């Protein structure tokens, strides 16, 4: 069949999963809300609880939005 080559199924599945995760993060942690909450609280665990997400999901979203550096380092 002519046209561009198709990715193997496992790669298509991984790409769809990444897209779904990004969509879910945008819905559960809207950028403006997350930035506002970050201004009010530097407590990472409290932020995760506030948005009802895992610590890893919060970390990824903060990094994606370029907000991770605004979080106070934990000692």
pLDDT of residue 61: 96
For a pLDDT cut of 70, what percent of the chain falls above it?
84
Contact status, residue 60 vs residue 25, Cβ threshold 8 Å:
yes
Q: How far is CA 53 from CA 8, 27, 47, 63, in A?
A: 31, 11, 9, 15
Average of per-residue pLDDT values in the chain: 87
The span from the CA of 25 to the CA of 47, in Å, is 14
The CA-based angle 52-35-60, given to 5 degrees, is 55
Cβ contact 44:74 at 8 Å: yes
| 64 or 74, greater pLDDT | 64
73 pLDDT band (50/70/90 cuts)?
A: low
In tens, the pLDDT along 47-72 reads 999 999 999 999 999 999 999 988 86
């Amino acid at each position: 069949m002519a046209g561009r080559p198709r990715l193997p199924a496992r790669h298509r599945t991984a790409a769809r999963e990444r897209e779904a995760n990004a969509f879910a993060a945008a819905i559960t942690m809207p950028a403006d809300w997350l930035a506002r909450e970050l201004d009010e609280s530097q407590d990472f665990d409290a932020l995760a609880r506030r948005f009802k997400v895992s610590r890893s999901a919060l970390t990824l979203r903060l990094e994606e939005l370029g907000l991770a550096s605004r979080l106070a380092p934990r000692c």
